[in-house]
């Protein structure tokens, strides 16, 4: 992906953060997933009073895209106010490994959106649980 595409996706993730529903943690996360179709699917973390039902920004974006028929992905950007940017949790890594294995992960701190760290999904989760039959 081009540096312009990378900055566009990070900016979309930063914008998506405004819709986070994070009254419990106060930690607002935005994600933006670029599909091969060229469409961008944004997501933000949605927390529940029953804490365990919380859904991360990454999964919200991924489920939106999958449920609209997308099957292949180029990259996902994740942004929060955290030095170095937020690294996806284990659950999100598993789902990304299953549905977006070739996507590039871009993470950035809201305070330094130009400072983007890039990872492959396989580096994040080298041995994902996979097909069992």
Considering only the stretches 2-10, 85-93, 109-117, 125-133, report the one whose residues sit in contact with ligand THU under the rule CB under 6 A.
85-93
State the Cα–Cα distance between residues 78 and 57, nearest whole angstrom: 8
Write down the least CB distance from residue 17 to ligand THU, Å.
Answer: 10
State the Cα–Cα distance between residues 19 and 79, nearest whole angstrom: 13
Active site residue 58: yes
Establish if 96 lies at the interface with ligand THU (CB under 6 A): no
State the Cα–Cα distance between residues 117 and 7, nearest whole angstrom: 12
CB-wise, 47 or 70, nearer to ligand THU? Answer: 47
Q: Which of 35, 58, 65, 108 binds ligand THU (CB under 6 A)?
A: 58
At residue 77, the 3 state secondary structure works out as: strand
CB-wise, 34 or 96, nearer to ligand THU? Answer: 96
Token readout for 8 is: 């566009």
Strand partners, 73: 35
**Residue 52 DSSP one-character state:** G
Considering only the stretches 9-17, 25-33, 64-72, 117-125, report the one whose residues sit in contact with ligand THU under the rule CB under 6 A.
25-33
Number of residues interacting with ligand THU: please give it, by CB under 6 A.
14
C-alpha 34: how far from chain center? 10
Q: Which residues bind ligand THU (CB under 6 A)?
A: 22, 25, 27, 29, 45, 47, 54, 56-58, 78, 86, 88-89
């Amino acid at each position: 992906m081009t540096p312009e595409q990378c900055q566009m996706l990070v900016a979309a993730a930063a914008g998506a953060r405004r819709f986070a529903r994070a009254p419990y943690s106060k930690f607002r996360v935005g994600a933006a997933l670029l599909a091969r179709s060229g469409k961008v699917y944004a997501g933000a973390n949605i927390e529940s009073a029953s804490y365990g039902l919380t859904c991360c920004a990454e999964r919200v974006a991924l489920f939106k895209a999958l449920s609209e028929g997308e099957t292949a992905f180029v990259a996902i950007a994740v942004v929060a106010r955290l030095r170095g940017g937020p690294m996806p949790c284990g659950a999100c890594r598993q789902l990304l490994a299953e549905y977006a294995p070739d996507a590039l992960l871009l993470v950035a701190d809201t305070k330094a959106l130009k400072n983007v760290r890039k990872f492959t999904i396989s580096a994040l989760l080298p041995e994902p649980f996979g097909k069992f039959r």
